[in-house]
Amino acid sequence: ATPELEYGRMNIGSRPSKRKPSGGIESLRAIPWIFAWTQTRFHLPVWLGFGAA
């Protein structure tokens, strides 16, 4: 159960004014990606860094 209406109001995926509006997947920021992984309860980004330190 994801509260989609509340997430739509959040400004987590907005682009800074200096970025081009069409940059492709390479220009995506990490914050929305990690937030999406956490919402699906699939913590792959957490395990990918495990043992690297």
Instruction: Read off the tokens for 29.
Output: 């920021």
CA nearest 36: which of 9, 5, 15, 7? 7
pLDDT 10s digits, 1-53: 567 777 667 666 555 656 666 666 666 565 666 666 666 666 555 556 556 55
Domains of the chain, by residue range, sit at 3-46
In the three-class reduction of DSSP (H, G, I as helix; E, B as strand; rest coil), residue 17 is classed as coil
Q: Read off the pTM.
A: 0.25
